[in-house]
Amino acid sequence: MNDFTNKPVMFFNELPWSKWPDVLPKTPDDDALPLKVGIYDDLYARLPDDNDTRKAFRRAMAKYTRSFRYLDAVAADCAMRYDIDGNPVGQVSELDRHSASLELYRRTVIDRSKARKTERNQEQVVNEGRAQSEEVPNPATAPSIRDRILKKRSD
């Protein structure tokens, strides 16, 4: 799923939770909630003691907390952080909100730059196609250089 869609990417569905944490989205329609600082250990405790599962959890957390949807939730005015049970525990700090806003802005600038570059490349291909489709004189039917020179002299 694209990072800029309105649905959160489901990163945690494949993990074998002993009890699903209320703070994590269960369906694509659930909101992404800013997580409390230090929630990683609380979530980690609900997983079985298996290296592959723990590795998958670390990857899922990294993807989730870097997703557009999550950063947008953190950057919102008066954003609240939530504990593992989905209860608000405090406001997102101004620094965290600002950092999330900057990251969203950076991604927007990069995406716009890529879109412009793609658009320029497409225009170039179209223009090259036009240039190639214009009639190119056939050397077999075109007058020779000698004939052109003689024609100029006669004019």
Give kind and range of the element (H or E) at residue 61: helix 51-65
Q: How far does Cα 75 stand from its chain's mean position?
A: 17
CATH architecture type of domain 1-102: Orthogonal Bundle (1.10)
pLDDT value at residue 137: 59
Question: In the prediction, which pLDDT does 36 show?
Answer: 94
The two beta strands, 88-91 and 80-82, are antiparallel
- What SS3 state is found at 102? helix
| pLDDT tens per residue across all 155 residues of the chain | 444 444 444 677 777 877 888 888 887 778 889 999 999 889 888 888 888 888 888 888 888 899 888 999 999 999 999 999 989 999 999 999 999 999 999 998 888 888 888 888 888 777 776 666 555 556 666 666 667 777 777 76
Rounded to an integer, what distance in angstroms lies between the CA atom of residue 107 and that of residue 127? 30
CA distance 51 to 86: 27
Return the pLDDT at 26. 81
Instruction: Determine the pLDDT at residue 130.
Output: 66
Instruction: Report how far residue 40's alpha carbon sits from residue 19's, in angstroms, rounded to the nearest whole number.
Output: 15
Domain ranges of the chain: 1-102
pTM of the model: 0.67
